[in-house]
Structure 1
Amino acid sequence: MSVGVLITCGVLLTAAAILAMSRVERGPSMLDRIVAIDVMVAAIIGCLTILSAWSGRVDLVPVLMVLALVGFVGSVTLARFAAAEPEEERHILTPEEIAEADAKVRAELEEES
């Protein structure tokens, strides 16, 4: 790879990382911060990819795969917990509510057969 391409890619990845850090700091919502952290992980993966391509090291490929997997799983997990749930799903069911729901399901099954 030419030095000009490496420098250009490095500058663009650094700019992306700086902009993502400002989004993490400013927010305003938790989902904005989660996306910004995902962009940071992508910038780190990009930097390691450039380093691997420039030096010809293939031993960094497993590290890149692990980083990509951790970034994806982390983003999905955090997004799941940050997402707002409907009001009726926010509480734990009482034993009476569970028994009532079971009775409804059993009644529907008996009607079908």
Structure 2
Amino acid sequence: MTLALARALKGPSVYDRVLAVNMFGTKTVLLLAVVAFFYGRPDFLDLALAYALINFVGILAVLEFFQSQRNDDEEQAKEQEE
């Protein structure tokens, strides 16, 4: 998790950072599942699943935002060339 956090802070591109944040979220879900197993608390698995869904939807939203921002920048560059 530390390496994923370091990659998220230092990643050379936006997509590397998003991938690192996604990996951090996945490791968090796995950690919640292991804690649920060791403590015998199956309700933690519900939290892990909810966190996994939030992580997935959040990553898709961030990627869509950066994709639309990139498309807008490309359109502006085309307009300036004309």
TM class, shorter-length: 0.7 to 0.9
Q: Which residue of 1 aligns with 2:21?
A: 37
Q: Distance in 2 between matches of 1:44 and 1:26?
A: 20
Rg larger for:
1
Q: Does 1:85 align with 2:46?
A: no
Tell me how far apart the structure 1 counterparts of residues 58 and 11 of structure 2 sit (CA, whole Å).
18
- Equivalences for 1:1-113 in 2 at 5 Å? 17-83=1-67, 84-85=70-71, 87=74, 90=75
Deviation at 1:85, TM superposition (A): 2.1
Q: Which runs of 4+ in 1 moved over 3 A?
A: none
Tell me, in whole angstroms, the C-alpha distance in 2 between the residues paired with 1:65 and 1:74.
14
How many residues are aligned here? 73
What is the distance in 2 between the residues matched to 1:49 and 1:61?
6
CA-based RMSD of the aligned residues comes to 1.6
Aligned mates of 1:67, 1:56 — CA distance in 2:
19
Cα distance in 1 for partners of 2:49, 2:31 equals: 14
Residue 25 of structure 1: CA displacement?
Answer: 1.5
| Aligned-pair CA distance for 1:22 | 1.2
**What's the CA shift string for 1:67-111, capped at 9, x where partnerless?**
011100011111111123273xx46xxxxxxxxxxxxxxxxxxxx
What is the rounded CA distance, in whole Å, between the counterparts of 2:56 and 2:63 in structure 1?
11
State percent identity of aligned pairs: 27
For structure 1, list consecutive stretches of 5 or more residues without a partner in the other structure: 1-16, 92-113
Alignment gaps of 5+ in structure 2: 77-82
